[in-house]
Amino acid sequence: MKVKKESIATIVVILAVLIFAGYLIFNKTSVQTSANVAKCIGENSAIYVETGCPHCADQEAMFGDNFKYLNSTDCYYNSQKCSDAGISAVPTWVIKGKQYVGVQSISTLQTLTGC
């Protein structure tokens, strides 16, 4: 049985659309999940970041637009505040008086903050 080139092209296009749609649905769900906890995490922790830090950018991306709800300090612009807080690396989360250096998953932050 001979398969037409148009049929194969159609199947490839349909698969590509389904994969892209799945990505959009998953990505939206991830941001919605972080929206549900961002305010709580922000009320129960502090994060120290720095402009230009790629790991800080990764942490911010996990929250998307909801990063604004976090209690964040940019050490590039507030070096004295970071120094006074004993921050030696970024990103650093301060939760219940304890420092957690590095990118933290949202689920870890939920556990640590009780959110």
Q: Give 20-60 as a DSSP string.
A: HHHHHHHHHHHHHHHHHHHHHHHHS-EEEE-TT-HHHHHHH
Enter the pTM of the model.
Answer: 0.70
Q: Per residue in 32-72, pLDDT tens?
A: 456 778 999 999 999 999 999 999 999 999 999 999 999 99
Residue linked to tokens 């305010």: 39
Domains and CATH numbers, the chain: 5-113 (3.40.30.10)
pLDDT above 70: residue 27 = no
Residue linked to tokens 């590095």: 102
Residue 14 carries which DSSP code?
Answer: H
Residue linked to tokens 């709800």: 69
Q: Per residue in 70-110, pLDDT tens?
A: 999 999 999 999 999 999 999 999 999 999 999 999 999 99
